[in-house]
A and B are shown apart, each in its own frame.
Chain A
Amino acid sequence: MNSQLRRAVRTALVGAVGVCVLAACGGESKDKDPSGGASGPKTVTLVSHDSFAASDAVLKEFTARTGYTVKVLKSGDAGTALNKEILTKGSPQGDVFFGVDNTLLSRALDNDLFTPYEAKGLDQVAQEVQLDAGKHRVTPVDTGDICVNYDKKFFADKKLAPPRTFADLAKPEYKNMLVVENAATSSPGLGFLLGTIGEYGESGWQGYWNKLKDNGVKVVDGWEQAYNEEFSGSAGGKKAGADRPLVVSYASSPPVEVLYSEPQPAQAPTGVATGTCFRQIEFAGLLTGAKNEAGGKALLDFLISKKFQEDMPLNMFVNPVVEDAKLPELFTKHGAVVEKPETVAADTIAKNREQWVRSWSSLVVK
């Protein structure tokens, strides 16, 4: 390159830097940094998966109580978000991580992501969800059930009783009706697979899936597609002429259907097959190497405070873990009570997960 051209390039580079700087100036930096605060950082950063949601009022409440402002970083789906934290161990992107569930818990604990902390108010949290009660590396925050949903209208028109249990799904009267998600790529898909393993045991689940396959189960890649394209009970499904009245979704989906309809119907258009559920428990923890440990601890306390717990259901569509937190009317009216959800021990999941998913793929997908 001759020197003149080099000069031209340099000129252009200066211009480029200028553009970037200008763009940055036009960017947003709403960090209200209270100057002169010698009491450590005033912002606490919560890293989470994309589904995290909390109402503005509740986040403001936290700031009013503690003086810390919450900054939320969304980091992909649950598995991706956790793996990123494992990769950046010791130099975390935030102070608190929310969204490790029981299917991923062992991986998080084996990698020593979290600094133990016993959150204030843990005595109010149901014992059966405290999976790390000995060490308090993680704090349970919510539970949710992955269950088969059914299209009420379809079964009423057919004068057929909707299925209630795993065993029902394999019966001939429900042939070609069920759509499930890919267990390898979707968390409800994995949850449903684990539910069948909980029900039929490590020796029996493959036989059950063979029956499902013979009964015409359809596998699609993710929840969005299963629910919005294939399930006849959803708005998208109706428009697309979907013909599968059974889908793997959540126990909270029917109330959400009601919440997001105008005008709100008296009855949810969908129902839950309560004998087909797998229970997910979500945890939060203080990241090791957090820049603002005190703020992180305050945030963990807040996540299991009644205020936050009662705000959660309508934002993330999950159930509170604090025993005296009240469910909103929408949930008590349209939600399903799942008496006996399936569970599989966290370390059993950690040991076999990949193997199970592989066998499932070759059995059902190929």
Chain B
Amino acid sequence: MAGPVAFFAVFFAYPVAAIVGRGLHADGVWQFGRFGEVLGRPDIRDVLWFTTWQALASTALTLLIALPGAYVFARLDFPGKRLLRAVVTVPFVLPTVVVGTAFLALLGRGGLLDELWGIRLDTTVWAILLAHVFFNYAVVVRTVGGLWQQLDPRQEEAARVLGAGRLAAWRRVTLPALVPSVAAAALMVFLFTFTSFGVVQILGGPAFSTLEVEIYRQTAEFLDLPTAAVLTLVQFLAVGAVLAVHAWTVRRRESALRLVDPARTARRPHGAVQWLLLGGVLTTVVVLLLVPLAVLVERSFDTPAGYGFGYYRKLGTVDPSGGVFLVPPIDAVWNSLRYALAATAISVVVGGLAAAALTRRAGRLVRGFDALLMLPLGVSAVTVGFGFLITLDEPPLDLRASWILVPLAQALVGVPFVVRTMLPVLRAVDERLREAAAVLGASPLRAWREVDLPLVRRALAMAAGFAFAVSLGEFGATVFIARPDNPTLPVAVARLLGRPGELNYGQAMALSTILMVVCAVALLLLERVRDRSTSEEF
């Protein structure tokens, strides 16, 4: 417990408090009068309202579209499942600039929908909502699917034997068991969409603005720290309220469940309903996720001299005039991997410790800490980045120009993922198993290794995959932290897109494709992480 608390205190609470404090504390007095002033502005009120409702709508839509996907990935076996599960996580790592491009190809002028039915959705709120689904589909599939695949199907079967109908059995047995992870997924999607930045800007156009955008502008553009501080606190309050609702929903819902090895729960689809579900989910995945990605891949091969690897070859060479980078752009792959590995290690260790501590439920304090862990998802990157700048500038923590700051900032987003993915599984572990192990003379560490670890291993691999993906695609923190010139993949893509010329555009597309492949391969490798022995059922 002490470790994660210290981590959050130093790298989150302290920097954010410092930057907010600087905004509200002027000329030696606290300026609480600023609240009324800022919140009284009609444009700010509009922004608040829009931020909230688009996040709610996006969350609802994502759950609606992704829950069947979670079921299919958890319970059905079909060829290419593992690959597809890695691919649906790919959108998560793409820089928004690139997603904008991909989505315009789907929704914009001459896009797929335009060709088929003459519908153009760009610069409408629909584009924003669909893009949020595109980004967060994997969040639901991974968080909910991680638990679902380990629920013992025989419990539902037992209910059926006792005379419950198929639906009733599902509603009475499976649904209650899933509530915590569905709530967790909904919470994460809400926090992500509530603090959405690039999607809203690129697909919605300048007419739409969220709180996150407003905070960014007040901080980074106008340096109006008081207004930014007020908005940050408003964001805090909103996120806090959502966290409270979430805690209230989940409390007393988390109970010991019978968990089994996922390999045994998935079956080949049988019956019309399951085939229909599978077909429906695959169609959704293809249209919503694969088509936009395919557009990018296609453009990366589409050179003026016909289709070929021209742009990819260019990536390996240094621009003779100096240009964007002093190194071949392909070096960005290694930078990204290095950051991602470090961030994943930090996230897994800190998140694992936090989850272990939270499993042993102990009153209000712990629950408060649980909520606290989620806060970084709901605080804007610019606030954290600028907070780092004014707090981590003195030894022993003079980290401003240190490379470790980037993975640390990314781990702030990675840790909540790890906790949220592991907690439902850990809490479902029957306490008596641990007690039995203790009675048989195992030390707590040994008991954890023998009892908890085999059960959470899959969830942990899922969580690690997520932390990895977050870091790989993370753009916010890397932009707000000044760094020596070793660009990560998303930064390199953004930089290439930031200059004219067909070669730059082509290389940006090629680098985006490489980013997707790196992400998919890394996730596939993580999925393969298996212990020597498959745990026997408990």
Chain B contacts for A227, CB-based, 8 A = 500
The number of chain A residues touching the other chain, given as a range, is 35 or more
A-B residue pair count with CB separations less than 8 angstroms: 216
Chain A contacts for B310, CB-based, 8 A = 262
Q: Does B389 contact A73, Cβ atoms closer than 8 Å? A: no
Q: Which residue of B lies closest to A223 (CB)?
A: B498
Q: Does B322 contact A314, Cβ atoms closer than 8 Å? A: yes
Q: Does residue A19 face the partner (Cβ distance < 8 Å to B)?
A: yes
Residue of A11, A26, A225, A242 with most chain B CB atoms under a 10 A cut-off? A225
Q: Does residue A259 face the partner (Cβ distance < 8 Å to B)?
A: yes
Chain B contacts for A257, CB-based, 8 A = 500-502
Q: Does B482 contact A261, Cβ atoms closer than 8 Å? A: no
Binary contact readout A230-257 vs B (1 if CB under 8 angstroms, 0 otherwise): 0000111001111100000100011011
CA distance A84 to B353 in the complex (A): 34
Chain A contacts for B326, CB-based, 8 A = 55-56
Q: Does residue A72 face the partner (Cβ distance < 8 Å to B)?
A: yes
Q: Does residue B25 face the partner (Cβ distance < 8 Å to A)?
A: no
Q: Does B505 contact A236, Cβ atoms closer than 8 Å? A: yes
Q: Does B349 contact A16, Cβ atoms closer than 8 Å? A: yes
Binary contact readout A6-38 vs B (1 if CB under 8 angstroms, 0 otherwise): 011101110110011001101110000000000
List residues of B (479-494) whose CB comes within 8 Å of A's CBs. 479-480, 482-486, 494
Q: Which residue of A lies closest to B327 (CB)?
A: A56
- Chain B nearest CB from A361 CB (Å) reads 8
Chain A contacts for B404, CB-based, 8 A = 20, 23-24, 27
Q: Does A235 contact B221, Cβ atoms closer than 8 Å? A: no
Binary contact readout A87-113 vs B (1 if CB under 8 angstroms, 0 otherwise): 110010100000000000001000000
Partner of B448, one of A8, A220, A224: A8
Chain A contacts for B352, CB-based, 8 A = 12
Q: Does residue A86 face the partner (Cβ distance < 8 Å to B)?
A: yes
Q: Does residue B3 face the partner (Cβ distance < 8 Å to A)?
A: yes
Q: Which residue of A lies closest to B302 (CB)?
A: A239
Partner of B445, one of A11, A74, A86, A236: A11
Partner of B322, one of A9, A28, A55: A55
- Chain A nearest CB from B7 CB (Å) reads 9
Chain A contacts for B1, CB-based, 8 A = 1, 9
Binary contact readout A61-99 vs B (1 if CB under 8 angstroms, 0 otherwise): 000000000011111110111011011100101000000
- Chain A nearest CB from B115 CB (Å) reads 11
Q: Does residue B253 face the partner (Cβ distance < 8 Å to A)?
A: no
Chain A contacts for B401, CB-based, 8 A = 45, 73, 93
Q: Does residue B386 face the partner (Cβ distance < 8 Å to A)?
A: yes
Q: Does A184 contact B221, Cβ atoms closer than 8 Å? A: yes
- Chain A nearest CB from B431 CB (Å) reads 14
**Contacts A20-B404, A236-B101, A311-B322 given: A12-B349 contact, CB under 8 Å?**
yes
CA distance A220 to B304 in the complex (A): 27
Q: Does B400 contact A23, Cβ atoms closer than 8 Å? A: no
Partner of B483, one of A2, A27, A74, A221: A74
Q: Does residue B323 face the partner (Cβ distance < 8 Å to A)?
A: yes
Chain A contacts for B345, CB-based, 8 A = 16, 19-20, 23
- Chain A nearest CB from B190 CB (Å) reads 24
Chain B contacts for A19, CB-based, 8 A = 345-346, 349
Chain A contacts for B302, CB-based, 8 A = 239
- Chain A nearest CB from B344 CB (Å) reads 10
Q: Does B3 contact A12, Cβ atoms closer than 8 Å? A: yes
CA distance A50 to B404 in the complex (A): 20
The number of chain B residues touching the other chain, given as a range, is 35 or more
Q: Which residue of A lies closest to B502 (CB)?
A: A235
Q: Which residue of B lies closest to A224 (CB)?
A: B497
Q: Does B389 contact A47, Cβ atoms closer than 8 Å? A: no
Binary contact readout A166-196 vs B (1 if CB under 8 angstroms, 0 otherwise): 0000000000000000101100000000000
Q: Does B444 contact A5, Cβ atoms closer than 8 Å? A: yes
List residues of B (177-225) whose CB comes within 8 Å of A's CBs. 201-202, 205-207, 217, 219-223
Q: Does A53 contact B324, Cβ atoms closer than 8 Å? A: yes
Partner of B206, one of A9, A80, A86, A182: A182
CA distance A5 to B206 in the complex (A): 52
Q: Does B500 contact A55, Cβ atoms closer than 8 Å? A: no
Chain A contacts for B356, CB-based, 8 A = 5, 8-9
Chain B contacts for A53, CB-based, 8 A = 322-324
Q: Does B505 contact A315, Cβ atoms closer than 8 Å? A: no
Q: Does residue A39 face the partner (Cβ distance < 8 Å to B)?
A: no
Q: Does residue B510 face the partner (Cβ distance < 8 Å to A)?
A: no
Q: Which residue of B lies closest to A5 (CB)?
A: B444
Q: Does residue A219 face the partner (Cβ distance < 8 Å to B)?
A: yes
Q: Does residue B110 face the partner (Cβ distance < 8 Å to A)?
A: yes
CA distance A23 to B342 in the complex (A): 6
- Chain B nearest CB from A97 CB (Å) reads 11
CA distance A24 to B404 in the complex (A): 7
CA distance A361 to B208 in the complex (A): 11
Q: Does residue B34 face the partner (Cβ distance < 8 Å to A)?
A: no
Q: Does residue A54 face the partner (Cβ distance < 8 Å to B)?
A: yes
Q: Which residue of A lies closest to B22 (CB)?
A: A87
Q: Does A4 contact B322, Cβ atoms closer than 8 Å? A: no
Q: Does B482 contact A56, Cβ atoms closer than 8 Å? A: no
CA distance A365 to B304 in the complex (A): 36
Q: Does B480 contact A80, Cβ atoms closer than 8 Å? A: yes
Q: Does B360 contact A27, Cβ atoms closer than 8 Å? A: no
CA distance A73 to B506 in the complex (A): 27
- Chain A nearest CB from B120 CB (Å) reads 12
Q: Does A73 contact B484, Cβ atoms closer than 8 Å? A: yes
CA distance A228 to B505 in the complex (A): 8
Q: Does B207 contact A260, Cβ atoms closer than 8 Å? A: no
Chain B contacts for A240, CB-based, 8 A = 101, 104-105, 108-110
Partner of A219, one of B205, B222, B223: B205
Q: Does A87 contact B386, Cβ atoms closer than 8 Å? A: yes
Binary contact readout B378-414 vs A (1 if CB under 8 angstroms, 0 otherwise): 0000000010011001100000110110010000000
A contact residues vs B (CB 8 Å cutoff): 1-2, 4-5, 7-9, 11-13, 15-16, 19-20, 23-24, 26-28, 45, 47, 50-51, 53-58, 71-77, 79-81, 83-84, 86-88, 91, 93, 107, 182, 184-185, 219-225, 227-229, 234-236, 239-243, 249, 253-254, 256-257, 259-262, 270, 311, 314-315, 317, 354, 361, 365-366
Can you show 12 pairs from A to B with CB atoms below 8 A apart?
Answer: A2-B444, A8-B443, A12-B352, A53-B323, A57-B322, A81-B482, A83-B220, A93-B400, A235-B505, A243-B109, A260-B500, A314-B323
Known: A4-B444, A23-B407, A221-B206. 5 other contacts (CB 8 A): A8-B445, A16-B3, A107-B223, A220-B206, A257-B502
